[in-house]
Structure formats: C-alpha cells, structure tokens
Amino acid sequence: MKMRRRSILDIISEYIEELERVADQMFEARFIEQPSWDTASATLEPLTNVFISAKEVIITADLPCVDVKAITVKALKRDIIEIKAKTKRTISFDEFGIIHRKGKFSNFYVQVAVPVPVNTTKMKTLCKNGILEVRIPRKLGYSVK
C-alpha cells in the first residue's frame, strides 16, 4: 500500500488552522471581560501598562488619590506582580459620572502578568503624581523551551 504525499499547501493550511486555534484559546483565557471593581471589598483595579525593553520590564499603574506610603508591590510568582494600594479618601461611582451603580472604594488591587523572565529581587518602584512605575531588570542568558 502506497502512502499519498501531502501537498505543501495542505501542510501550511493545517499549521495555520492550529495556530488560529491556539491563539483563540490564549485570547479567551487572557482577555475575558470582567468588572474592574469589587464593591464587597471596596477595591478598584487600576489601569496598567507593561512595556518590555531589551534590559528591563516597566509596569505602570494609574493610582489616583493614593497614599504613597500605603502602596505594596511584590512578586507572587516569577511572572506575576501584585500591586496593592490604599487611597487617601474613598472614591465613589458618582465621581466618574456613573449613576446606575452604587459603591465606594478605598483600595486598588491588580495582578500584572510579566511575559518575559525577570529578576524580581532587583525590582525598583517610584510613585509620582498618582502614577506608579515598577522597573524590573530582565534575566539574561535564559533558554526558550
């Protein structure tokens, strides 16, 4: 019995379909919409950004009305950074012009995923004008699986 050779176009098509399937799974798992607040714990999720440069990862978080002494930044895992902060005063939905929801908030909390290997022991933080900046040096000389 002879085996039929597959066309290169069939192989590429299968490869693209597999890539699309994996990308869809990753997108669904990472970007499931959820509220950015929890009224039960009086917590808001701050806006965050992760910037990756050749030598470091810079995470910024928008923390308005925060007591700078009440900010905690720690590494939960090698690739998860936790940011907690207590506000100077309570913040309500009314301040944002939201009238169909009720709730007051006195904390910020977020877990930020870091997509590259970093050295969390050398993490540095700076908070200025309500913007927290976390700088973490990248690990050099690692292998990709």
What's the N-to-C CA distance of the chain in angstroms?
38
Predicted local confidence at residue 23, as pLDDT: 81
CA-CA distance, 93 to 101, in Å (whole number)? 7
DSSP-assigned beta bridge partners for residue 83: 73, 110
Per-residue pLDDT tens digits of the chain, which is 145 residues long? 666 787 888 889 999 999 888 887 776 655 556 678 888 888 999 999 999 998 999 999 999 989 899 999 999 988 899 999 999 999 888 887 888 888 889 999 999 999 899 999 999 999 999 999 999 999 876 566 6
The pLDDT score that the predictor gives to residue 98 is 83
Per-residue pLDDT at 81? 95
- C-alpha torsion sign, points 86, 87, 88, 93: negative
Q: What is the CATH number of domain 37-137?
A: 2.60.40.790
Domain boundaries, the chain: 37-137
pTM above 0.75, yes or no: no
State the pLDDT at residue 144.
60
